[in-house]
Structure 1
């Protein structure tokens, strides 16, 4: 579209202070006209909050979100008709956001200095429509003004400094910025909004004398507090995820992220919450706070992309239910416009490896169609000239070309297609998928394998050599397995789109044949898992059996990392080892999904032993307590334990397969997914010496009960089977 508004910025730099831009307009400016509607179209180089006559415009938090700004910079449209008065003042405050913050925080690179030098830019248009159908536009131009706001500092990692006693005045002229409007696009992803308000559970004095507030749940967002104070009194607050083994506040794992709030009070009762930043936290430490604080003064405000909840899991096991809750909170906390790895430390980036591991679970838990469509569009926009994919999207200076991470280019769009049934996501991403396969083909040292290069391998695999974050699975094995898998997805996507994929069919067969000749033995749990799950093992039953024996031999413990864990239970249950899969799921000792639950986790951890059995921390440099990737186990619960499965030739749950697999260690298990066709539900429970199944399907289904297949239409059904 043609923008009448121009990019504007303060005439003089305000340093770290967030500028507020202002423009007045009155109904009297348009004599003889009656206003029918007023629309505000706006975006910023940073994040913004707009107010008309002192009232907030819209509920979008941290607008315009995070995209690959150079090519895809979102703008938002708001209907502000109801806020318009006879005399009006529009104010828009702009913070650094992702656009101008020093991300990523833990490495030094040229891009940080460049981002820090970018001015706080704003572009907007007020479009006024009159009852006679004529229009008027008030664009950002030299008639606007800018002043220092009460937000004296705001940045993604370090937090916010706010002075409620500061009088905003001394408005200065603005200048036009030489910035393009050619990259501006309408809002594509889900907006970011406030969701749950979690009331503080307790306010207590820690053993070391510090005052700490516990919200009882780790959230991503910010706090809101209310207090009665005098002008000039100070509030200083630090954020943390956990307490140490002595019960004291701890946040050394935030690394260089300060994650602080500094607030200067005005007179009287006042309420504050940050406007231009977010935190990952369960606890806050009151470093300064007027009066005697109590829990009733504090709320944690959960902030994430505005996704509809679609999936639910419940069982008779309280620890398992807590795990299900942790997975949901982990997804909410890390689906803040991009699928971040973690929300608290000096990182918070869209890691592709985490996203591809979790995308299936994500798409069952919430409607993430729009969320991933936007993020994958950024991936395609940022794809390197050689076809590789950045380790993080939007792409920053972190590198590209790692197996399983780059493979998000194929895995994510295919899963979104399977869950929602809309081939448009494949059409949007197909060129990106093909270019990625081309990158591997052109960069490998050995034809039909992926050899050479630098990879994260089986990241955080428990069988890693001492001193390594990588598991013991062979890099070339993992890379070649994912090469095969992603090529197979290009073939499948091409068939859906009606494309000529003969080249990729031949390539895929060549990879499979070469893989089988090259890798004649499987040495780790992850190697067994990938060989079976990706269809590379010549004898998948034998390989799955060997995996089961390997797991039992080490005490029924998993040793897989980021690469193997998402598929581990699927492989076991697909080849007759469902009981062992349940054993791993229900295990409470380290390492296991339930071990963190026994340590009080309310989100999924980065490390199985982020808090070790003796209460010490695994490390300070890489120890997130809200890291959603291992929550991918939920898709096994949906698909295998509860039995709800998509059918590839009927995507979007147009046809359903429901094949529950009960286990005697649970009295009952229930799963439901709200699909595009309606809600599919599976409940099984032990009842008087037999198992009762309650199944709801919104579309034709193949129901498998105790090995017997029943074809049914949409409806509610009850079945029984004997306990095995």
Structure 2
């Protein structure tokens, strides 16, 4: 039988999740098939509590006739706490094939009700250890277990941050647990399988506690103890024996407490660690804790404990430094080669008492000295004092830094050069699954894509922060909402945003207003484009993953935000009152202002309409007919009032800025001739500005999409390919390895933007990535069928100066690929469509008679449908891999200039003939193209080439007449 199977089974987005507290978890799977056009016709799910016995079933769906394969809700008996459930899936397809059962997957529940918690919150006795002191607390307890342990779990949490140890070994690999939530309303607990770490007989558990976000320094220098002023721990161990009995060990006042080697640990400021104060064996049994103090039961203002929702924060990659050098100021510096977020781990062999200091920064100044000015009051400093025993290894525990460069002080022998092999950088972020990739034949655009990904990695650290280095690192709502389409291409963000949205809902004000940052530690109220995260983010999650539950859970919050706006001012159809950030950091701002020139009430009303449209659409998805009717009417009235207020009778916008035109187009605020005029005038504004943008946080995320959507795609391309200020590639040209907060964070003369607000890792402008995936590569969806159930592949390469691009996205149904390669003679497009989906594909400027698929005429290929249109050939296909080729007769060709990178030629011998004509011997050996010259311009600069500008021009013209294919550097 041909291969058909259900694979990649997940429960609540995750593979074999442990310790969930969702009573009706949802199951998803992907389908593997070796036949094109495969659609699921039916499925069957079976659930049992015995891995080896699917004859005694807890739940069996039987054969369900449907093509649904994502978010299938468990429908069996109520789940029990602390129980593992095994499940498997079988599918039938449209070719009447029945698969074998999938591999067995599982989920395991945590503690499903407050009554199941037996632990107490504990903290060191304040009479003996000052609860406000800086050193991290150590808590420990010894206990004895019987023989015959079959399973053991630890459930627990702490405030601020904790690390857990058992019998001298670290439990789990999570960092910065329990993460950051709206602590007074929601606190995550974690579940650990410790079956293999427990022993029959004596055991010991240890907990290390530091301030973290809960009570550490946040936002302002004098701002501490935002959620509380006491660290505390809350844990219980459940041990099950082979005779069916169970034993529970909990945190209570029988635990002992002390301080240890961590003298200080803060999110902003780093960590100080004195290895001489280590208490060897402190988390093992038989440790002498006679001089340790007691603990007390601590009342905590926590209203709800929830199982871990987000991906844990982990070390996801280890980087080796690329260089060490001494600056003109005399500082010894390590260069990691990449602006990263995480920590340095180092080894040292030295006598006791040597103090080593690491200071972290992102860039060097124009004189080559390390630059700390943009950190504000964050210290980003790590101090380590050696204990003097053999080789010591250290990395900080409860902090993270944003950096590329590290100033090292006090390392033994550093005056003779640092041993780079003793230092590594550990990259830290929420451990999300990578789902997207984009690459093209232009190395600078590829570097931009890498910068976007690195910016996301650095800022998606349990919450979507705005920056990871200075004294801020907050969950700014606007940054998150403008970037989320790009974010969900790059990484799977389902659990990440599900968790953060619950905190947004928890911190939303009673009147529906949404604070500037989530979790809310700023106290600020909402602003247009900031508070709209309440609607935009759940809708984008729904669109990307087909997750109706997130819409249902957030619907009241979404509605409250729209109703809050509705109550502002005297006209319920305009938002023209209150504070707004406007087009933040736009280049058309007045002198000494951060706010762009676009009228704030214009922006506010556009986003009011956008959120209302989303609310209406969400109501339709959820079957809320009354709300559909109400918010359809409201949307119509907002657009009507907007057109009366902000558009002249001739169709001209009253706000003559790029951003005004962008958002009016993007959010469908104009129609007919006004829409055409708005698109035309946006294009003119770009032309008048030499194809440079002057948009800020509001306009930039949408400018390329608005141009391509409005019929000016080639202008969008020119905007991308600019490499002078202001542009995306200007940053790349300046050596950026992440996305900057300002277009000129480093100015053209090498000086910096103001120290007060100058992050070199600020992902908002990385939102261009959405356009690169969706428009350049062409991966999109039919929005009426979310989660890419019906895929659109419509690459746009007109005007692009590179010859190939490829993007892939791992959707809920499987891998989607769109790859194109352009030569003067041919267009080639490769597409992959996952099983149980269909796709509509546009082959730009193709003629039906010319198209080959897999070397066969398209008309002889078994696909759903095809037709020739003015745009090209449109196809509807089922799942499978497709390779289309057709003649390039419509001007779809790269802009081949002296700056065009070259490596190879389709007809290499002809190329050699042309080049030897102007520079005899230059092409011998052929490696000249890959190792010495990236472009004809660089070729001309080679000493042995001796090519003048006129000769280069002549080469270009002759190559064009030969219609040779310039394949760009990958």
TM-score by length of 1: 0.97
The Cα offsets for residues 435-463 of structure 1, whole Å up to 9 and x where unpaired, read as 00010011234220001110110000110
Which of 475, 492, 513 matches 1:388? 513
2:877 corresponds to 1:712: yes
2:642 corresponds to 1:515: yes
Q: Aligned ranges for residues 523-538 of structure 1 at < 5 Å?
A: 523-538=656-671
2:561 corresponds to: 436
Which of 160, 179, 185 matches 2:300? 179
The Cα offsets for residues 423-446 of structure 1, whole Å up to 9 and x where unpaired, read as 111011100000000100112342
2:812 corresponds to 1:673: no
Which of 198, 223, 227 matches 1:84? 198
2:356 corresponds to: 235
Give the stretch that moved more between structures: 178-187 or 65-74. 178-187
Deviation at 1:297? 1.3
Give the stretch that moved more between structures: 373-382 or 656-665. 656-665
Deviation at 1:294? 2.0
Contact 2:183 2:227 in 1 (8 A): no
- In structure 2, the residue corresponding to 1:115 is in which secondary structure? coil
Contact 1:445 1:451 in 2 (8 A): no
1:152 corresponds to: 263
Contact 2:214 2:228 in 1 (8 A): no
2:429 corresponds to 1:304: yes
Which of 223, 226, 240 matches 2:344? 223
- In structure 1, the residue corresponding to 2:755 is in which secondary structure? coil
The Cα offsets for residues 366-413 of structure 1, whole Å up to 9 and x where unpaired, read as 000110000001100111011011100011124112000000000001
The Cα offsets for residues 286-338 of structure 1, whole Å up to 9 and x where unpaired, read as 12222232211111110000100000000101111100000000001000000
- In structure 2, the residue corresponding to 1:388 is in which secondary structure? coil
Give the Cα–Cα distance (whole angstroms) in 2 for the partners of residues 53 and 138 of structure 1. Answer: 15
Give the Cα–Cα distance (whole angstroms) in 2 for the partners of residues 428 and 377 of structure 1. Answer: 8
Give the Cα–Cα distance (whole angstroms) in 2 for the partners of residues 536 and 117 of structure 1. Answer: 46
Residues 116 and 70 of structure 1: CA distance in aligned 2, closer, same or farther (over 3 Å): closer
- In structure 1, the residue corresponding to 2:565 is in which secondary structure? helix
Give the Cα–Cα distance (whole angstroms) in 1 for the partners of residues 296 and 454 of structure 2. Answer: 43
Q: Aligned ranges for residues 278-677 of structure 1 at < 5 Å?
A: 278-292=400-414, 293-499=418-624, 500-501=626-627, 502-520=629-647, 521=653, 522-538=655-671, 539-662=674-797, 663-677=799-813
For the aligned residue pairs, the C-alpha RMSD in angstroms reads: 1.3
- In structure 1, the residue corresponding to 2:503 is in which secondary structure? helix
Contact 1:694 1:719 in 2 (8 A): yes
Deviation at 1:105? 3.0
Deviation at 1:523? 1.1
- In structure 2, the residue corresponding to 1:329 is in which secondary structure? helix
The Cα offsets for residues 167-208 of structure 1, whole Å up to 9 and x where unpaired, read as 436311001101256411111111111111001111111111
Deviation at 1:113? 4.4
Contact 1:313 1:324 in 2 (8 A): yes
Give the Cα–Cα distance (whole angstroms) in 2 for the partners of residues 114 and 613 of structure 1. Answer: 42
Contact 2:516 2:522 in 1 (8 A): no
Give the number of the structure with larger relative contact order, counting CA–CA contacts within 8 Å between residues 6 or more apart: 1
Which of 245, 250, 254 matches 2:366? 245
Residues 100 and 181 of structure 1: CA distance in aligned 2, closer, same or farther (over 3 Å): closer
Q: Any stretches of 5+ residues in structure 1 without a counterpart?
A: none
2:242 corresponds to 1:131: yes
2:188 corresponds to 1:74: yes
- In structure 1, the residue corresponding to 2:226 is in which secondary structure? helix
Give the Cα–Cα distance (whole angstroms) in 1 for the partners of residues 601 and 726 of structure 2. Answer: 26
The Cα offsets for residues 32-83 of structure 1, whole Å up to 9 and x where unpaired, read as x521112111111111001111111001100000000111100101011111
Residues 664 and 44 of structure 1: CA distance in aligned 2, closer, same or farther (over 3 Å): closer
- In structure 2, the residue corresponding to 1:413 is in which secondary structure? helix
- In structure 1, the residue corresponding to 2:741 is in which secondary structure? coil
Give the Cα–Cα distance (whole angstroms) in 2 for the partners of residues 352 and 398 of structure 1. Answer: 13
Deviation at 1:114? 3.9
Give the Cα–Cα distance (whole angstroms) in 1 for the partners of residues 617 and 571 of structure 2. Answer: 25
1:122 corresponds to: 233
Give the Cα–Cα distance (whole angstroms) in 2 for the partners of residues 427 and 115 of structure 1. Answer: 31
2:55 corresponds to 1:55: no
- In structure 2, the residue corresponding to 1:432 is in which secondary structure? helix
Residues 715 and 103 of structure 1: CA distance in aligned 2, closer, same or farther (over 3 Å): same
Give the Cα–Cα distance (whole angstroms) in 2 for the partners of residues 152 and 361 of structure 1. Answer: 40
Give the Cα–Cα distance (whole angstroms) in 2 for the partners of residues 467 and 180 of structure 1. Answer: 43
Larger radius of gyration: 2
Q: Aligned ranges for residues 6-85 of structure 1 at < 5 Å?
A: 6-12=120-126, 13-14=129-130, 15-27=133-145, 30=146, 34-85=148-199
Give the Cα–Cα distance (whole angstroms) in 1 for the partners of residues 522 and 278 of structure 2. Answer: 40
Give the Cα–Cα distance (whole angstroms) in 1 for the partners of residues 595 and 225 of structure 2. Answer: 33
1:140 corresponds to: 251
- In structure 2, the residue corresponding to 1:573 is in which secondary structure? helix
Deviation at 1:282? 0.6
Deviation at 1:116? 8.3
Deviation at 1:664? 4.1
Give the Cα–Cα distance (whole angstroms) in 1 for the partners of residues 570 and 604 of structure 2. Answer: 12
Give the stretch that moved more between structures: 661-670 or 2-11. 661-670
- In structure 2, the residue corresponding to 1:584 is in which secondary structure? helix
- In structure 1, the residue corresponding to 2:277 is in which secondary structure? coil
Give the Cα–Cα distance (whole angstroms) in 1 for the partners of residues 224 and 883 of structure 2. Answer: 63
Give the Cα–Cα distance (whole angstroms) in 1 for the partners of residues 152 and 141 of structure 2. Answer: 15
Which of 250, 272, 275 matches 1:164? 275
Residues 374 and 709 of structure 1: CA distance in aligned 2, closer, same or farther (over 3 Å): same
Residues 266 and 486 of structure 1: CA distance in aligned 2, closer, same or farther (over 3 Å): same
Which of 381, 385, 389 matches 1:260? 381
Give the Cα–Cα distance (whole angstroms) in 1 for the partners of residues 800 and 225 of structure 2. Answer: 59
Give the Cα–Cα distance (whole angstroms) in 2 for the partners of residues 436 and 80 of structure 1. Answer: 44
1:702 corresponds to: 840
Contact 1:151 1:163 in 2 (8 A): yes
2:826 corresponds to 1:690: yes
2:100 corresponds to: none
2:79 corresponds to: none
Contact 1:51 1:91 in 2 (8 A): yes
2:34 corresponds to: none
